[in-house]
A and B are shown apart, each in its own frame.
Chain A
Amino acid sequence: MAKTVAVPLQPGAALTHRRQVRSLRRAAWQRFRRNRLALLSLIYIGVLVAVALSAPLLAPHNPVQSDIRAAGAFRQAAWIDDANPQRAGSWTYPLGSDSIGRDVFSRLLFGTRVSLLVGLITALCTLSIGVSVGLAAGYGGKRTDNTLMRFTDVVYAFPGLLFFIVIQIAFRDSWAGNLLNGLVLLFVTLSIVSWTNVARLVRGEVLSVKEREFIESARASGAGDRRIIFRHIFPNVLGPIIVSGAYIIPGAIAAEATLSYLGIGVRPSVALDAPFPTSWGSMILDGSKSWESQPWMLLGPSIVFASVTLAFTFVGDGLRDAIDPRQQ
Chain B
Amino acid sequence: MAGYVVRRVLWIIPVLLTVAVITFFLMYRAPGGPWSDRRRLPEATEAALNAKFGLDKPLWFNGRAASDAQARGENNLLRVGRAYLDSQFFNYLFGVARGDFGPSYQSRGTESVQSVLRREFPTSAKLGLVAITLALLIGIPLGIVGALRQGSFFDHLTLILATTGVAIPSFVVAVLAIVFFSSQLGITPIRRPEEWDGLSTAYLLPAIVLGLGPMALIARLTRSAMVDVGHQEYIRTARAKGLAEGIVARRHMLRNALLPIVTVVGPIAAELVTGSIIVESIFNVPGMGREFVTSISARDYSMIMGTTLFYAFLVVLANLLVDVSYSFLDPRIRVA
A residues contacting the other copy or chain, number (CB 8 A): 41
Interface pairs (8), CB distance under 8 Å: A154-B15, A162-B274, A261-B171, A292-B183, A306-B164, A309-B167, A310-B163, A310-B164
Q: Is the CB of A159 within 8 A of B273?
A: yes
> Within 8 Å of chain A (Cβ to Cβ): is B296?
yes
* Cross-chain contact B296 with A169 (CB below 8 angstroms): yes
Select which of A157, A261, A309 is within 8 A of B168 by beta carbon: A309
Q: A159-B273, A169-B30 are in contact. Are A302 and B163 (CB under 8 A)?
A: no
Stretch of B18-26, B121-129, B135-143 contacting A (4+ beta carbons < 8 Å): B18-26
Q: Are B167 and A312 in contact (CB under 8 A)?
A: yes
User: Is B319 part of the contact surface with A, judged by Cβ < 8 Å?
Assistant: yes
Contacting residues, chain B, for A173 (C-beta < 8 A)? 30-31
**B316 touching A306 by the CB < 8 A rule?**
no
List B contacts of A154 (CB < 8 A).
14-15, 18-19
Chain B nearest CB from A35 CB (Å) reads: 11
With beta carbons under 8 angstroms apart, the residue of A153, A170, A262, A306 that contacts B26 is A170
The answer, among A159, A161, A174, A328, for a CB contact under 8 Å with B224, is: A328
**Chain A's interface: helix, strand, loop or mixed, by majority?**
helix
Contact assessment for B274 and A298 in the assembled complex, using a CB-CB cutoff below 8 Å: no
Residues of A within 8 A of B304 (CB): 166
- Cβ-defined partner of B163 (8 Å) among A158, A167, A292, A313: A313
Whether, in the assembled complex, B315 has its beta carbon less than 8 Å from a beta carbon of chain A, the answer is yes
The tally of residues in B whose CB lies under 8 Å from a CB in A reads: 46
In angstroms, Cα B172 to Cα A257, docked, is 9
Q: Which residues of B contact A257 (CB under 8 A)?
A: 169, 171-172
Q: Which of A170, A254, A328 contacts B228 (CB 8 A)?
A: A328
Residues of B within 8 A of A276 (CB): none
Whether B171 contacts A258 by the Cβ 8 Å rule is yes
Does B145 sit within 8 A of A, measured CB to CB? no
Contact across chains for B273 and A166 when beta carbons are under 8 A apart? no
**Interchain CB contact (< 8 A) of A254 among B16, B19, B169:** B169
B26, B168, B179, B228: the one contacting A167 at CB < 8 Å is: B26
A156 closest partner in B (C-beta): B319
Give CA–CA (A305, B277) in the complex, Å. Answer: 20
Closest chain A residue, CB of each to CB of B274: A161
B163-216 interface with A by 8 A CB criterion: 163-164, 166-169, 171-172, 175-176, 179, 183
Kindly list chain B residues whose C-beta atoms are within 8 Å of the C-beta of A255: 169
For B275, the closest partner residue in chain A by CB is A161
Measured CB to CB, the closest approach of chain A to B42, in angstroms, equals: 25
Contact of B169 among A167, A171, A309, A317 (CB under 8 A): A309
Q: A159-B273, A306-B164, A310-B168 are in contact. List 19 more A-B contacts (CB 8 A).
A: A153-B15, A157-B19, A157-B312, A157-B315, A157-B319, A159-B308, A162-B292, A165-B277, A174-B29, A254-B167, A255-B169, A257-B172, A258-B278, A288-B179, A298-B176, A302-B175, A309-B167, A310-B164, A327-B228
- CB–CB A157/B167 < 8 A: no
Assembly CA distance A167 to B29 (angstroms): 9
- Cα distance, A170 to B296, chains bound together (Å): 10
Instruction: Determine the distance from Cα of A173 to Cα of B175 in the docked complex, in whole angstroms.
Output: 28
**A239 contacts the other chain (CB 8 A):** no
| B residues near A166, Cβ cutoff 8 Å | 23, 26-27, 296, 304, 308
Name A88-117 residues within 8 Å CB distance of B: none
